[in-house]
């Protein structure tokens, strides 16, 4: 998305709320990130449209920049049993990507700035343990990154993001959460957007989906557990009737997304395991199944933090029931972060990311057979590109400042 006067006005307004002291209840925070990386070019079925459009030119995308500005407004201060809280909380979270290389309308290797609003919501609490949230929001329970308390650095393009690909973020909707105690929460919501992985697996437009999400979170210090289930409806358009309304979403196909995270905390070591599974039908009505398993470790030190993740993707092989073309040759990802604190609001992160692919024999044999049968080269190549992956790795350094 190109910058426009509208977006500049929104950002200026959010900044002014805090800078001018418009309200003592307004809080304004920001984070700026810049990094330098070395990465291999790679082949992916997602190198089409705006998903991974620049994957074949990653070697030339060495410098990246991102800014995030968040405004929080609180109103209606209350106190219950000595605990202060607010009946009304509003959040606006604006993200600016300085040079996004995955714009579908840019030539290969081209970059453009991008502005997104990830969260823009208002929450009302009639009483302390209950809240209703309306607006564009992120359901943290659906994201392993939120559940483990760490988003891995060095991957603004989401090339290695599979450990948290089921996250329901930036989704318009209405949700409610109930807190039985400080450590126990259940939630329910209805949204008009599905996760990245749901979109890739189902082949449907993310914003053409209706999603009902249910989640449960428990944190007992030494162990924390989160489970979330998303029921997704997407696919099909209604026939144009006598009212001449064309292109209405039908939402006739269904699939479910389950993700669970178990995290431990022992003497500062935080090992975790995450599991995600998509099961059901694609937007075209074809059976699909994808699962992901993640293992990792996070360790905080006085001077910084170390984090590691290993994730494995699995789907039935080519020609088998439930096979998802975009995931058939995906195998594993590994991510390493070492964050060194330079001051209270600045740090340097050293990162390394690895994506390993695998060769699906059935897919490769089908491609070879098509070529042998005299299929046009462009058709055969396009068929292979729709499902094949190659390896890639990246490493580099990120600078982060906050205010």
Q: How far is Cα 219 from Cα 182, in angstroms, rounded to an integer? A: 9
pTM of the model: 0.89
Q: In sequence order, what are the beta bridge partners of 124?
A: 88, 132
Q: In 3D, which of 207, 209, 218 has the Cα closest to residue 257?
A: 209
Mean pLDDT computed over every residue of the chain: 89
Q: Show the tokens assigned to 364.
A: 């490769």
**Does the structure show a pLDDT above 90 at 91?**
yes
Given the DSSP bridges, would you call strands 253-264 and 287-301 parallel, antiparallel or unpaired? unpaired
22-30: average pLDDT: 76
Q: How far is Cα 267 from Cα 76, in angstroms, rounded to an integer? A: 39
C-beta separation of 319 from 362 below 8 A: yes
N- to C-terminal Cα distance for the chain? 26
C-beta separation of 132 from 176 below 8 A: yes
- Mean pLDDT is lowest, of 76-80, 210-214, 304-308, 344-348, for 76-80
Other CB atoms within a 10 A radius of the CB of residue 365 amount to 12
User: For position 144, what pLDDT does the model report?
Assistant: 92
% of the chain residues with pLDDT over 70: 88
C-beta separation of 238 from 114 below 8 A: no
Q: In 3D, which of 341, 332, 340, 329 has the Cα closest to residue 384?
A: 329
C-beta separation of 148 from 171 below 8 A: no
User: For position 368, what pLDDT does the model report?
Assistant: 79
- Mean pLDDT is lowest, of 41-55, 180-194, 371-385, for 371-385
Q: How many domains does the structure of the chain reveal?
A: 1
Give residue-wise pLDDT tens across range 315-337: 999 889 999 988 999 999 999 99
**Does the structure show a pLDDT above 90 at 9?**
no
69-75: average pLDDT: 95
φ, ψ at 2 (rounded to 5°): -75, 150
User: For position 18, what pLDDT does the model report?
Assistant: 47
Residues 6+ apart with CB under 8 A from 373: none
C-beta separation of 274 from 144 below 8 A: yes
**Does the structure show a pLDDT above 60 at 20?**
no
Give residue-wise pLDDT tens across range 139-173: 999 999 999 999 999 999 999 998 999 999 999 99
% of the chain residues with pLDDT over 90: 71
Q: How far is Cα 403 from Cα 388, in angstroms, rounded to an integer? A: 43
**Does the structure show a pLDDT above 90 at 221?**
no
Other CB atoms within a 10 A radius of the CB of residue 242 amount to 5
- Domain CATH number, residue 202: 2.40.160.10
Give residue-wise pLDDT tens across range 266-292: 988 999 999 999 999 999 999 999 999
**Does the structure show a pLDDT above 50 at 1?**
no
Domain that holds residue 160: 5-402
Q: Show the tokens assigned to 222.
A: 């030494």
Give residue-wise pLDDT tens across range 231-258: 999 999 888 888 889 989 999 999 999 9
Q: In 3D, which of 325, 388, 397 has the Cα closest to residue 358?
A: 388
The structure tokens 């190198």 sit at 47
User: For position 51, what pLDDT does the model report?
Assistant: 79
Q: Show the tokens assigned to 247.
A: 């292109």
Q: Show the tokens assigned to 264.
A: 């431990």
Q: In 3D, which of 13, 2, 41, 32 has the Cα closest to residue 400?
A: 32
What Å distances lie between residue 329 and 54, 89, 178, 335, CA to CA?
19, 44, 41, 19
Given the DSSP bridges, would you call strands 346-357 and 392-402 parallel, antiparallel or unpaired? antiparallel
Q: Show the tokens assigned to 243.
A: 């009212």
């Amino acid at each position: 998305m190109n910058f426009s006067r509208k977006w500049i006005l929104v950002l200026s307004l959010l900044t002014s709320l805090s800078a001018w002291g418009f309200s003592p209840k307004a809080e304004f925070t920001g984070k700026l990130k810049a990094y330098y990386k070395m990465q291999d070019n790679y082949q992916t079925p997602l190198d089409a449209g705006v998903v991974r459009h620049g994957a074949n030119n990653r070697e030339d995308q060495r410098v990246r920049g991102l800014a995030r500005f968040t405004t929080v407004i609180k109103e209606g201060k209350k106190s219950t049993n000595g605990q202060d809280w607010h009946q009304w909380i509003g959040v606006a979270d604006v993200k600016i990507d300085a040079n996004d290389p995955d714009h579908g309308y840019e030539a290969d290797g081209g970059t453009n700035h991008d502005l997104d609003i990830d969260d823009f919501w208002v929450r009302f609490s009639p009483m302390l343990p209950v809240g209703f949230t309306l607006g564009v929001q992120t359901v943290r329970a659906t994201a392993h990154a939120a559940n483990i308390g760490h988003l891995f650095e060095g991957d603004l393009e989401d090339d290695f993001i599979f450990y948290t690909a089921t996250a329901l973020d930036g989704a318009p909707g209405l949700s409610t959460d109930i807190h039985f105690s400080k450590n126990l929460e259940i939630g329910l919501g209805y949204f008009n957007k599905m996760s990245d992985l749901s979109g890739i697996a189902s082949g449907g437009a993310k914003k053409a989906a209706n999603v009902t999400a249910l989640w449960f979170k428990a944190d007992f210090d030494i162990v924390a557990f989160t489970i979330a289930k998303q029921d997704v409806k997407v696919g099909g358009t209604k026939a144009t009737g006598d009212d001449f309304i064309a292109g209405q979403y039908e939402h006739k196909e269904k699939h479910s997304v389950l993700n669970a995270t178990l995290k431990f905390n022992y003497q500062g070591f935080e090992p975790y395991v995450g599991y995600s599974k998509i099961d059901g039908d694609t937007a075209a009505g074809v059976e699909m199944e994808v699962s992901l398993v993640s293992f990792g470790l996070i360790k905080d030190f006085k001077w910084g933090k170390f984090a590691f993740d290993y994730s494995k993707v699995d789907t039935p092989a080519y020609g088998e029931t439930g096979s998802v073309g975009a995931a058939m040759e995906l195998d594993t990802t590994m991510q390493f972060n070492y964050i060194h604190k330079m001051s209270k609001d600045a740090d340097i992160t050293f990162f390394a990311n690895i994506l390993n692919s695998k060769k699906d024999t059935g897919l490769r044999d089908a491609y070879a057979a098509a070529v042998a049968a005299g299929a046009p080269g462009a058709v055969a190549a396009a068929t292979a590109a729709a499902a094949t992956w190659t390896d890639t790795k990246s490493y580099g350094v990120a600078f982060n400042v906050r205010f």
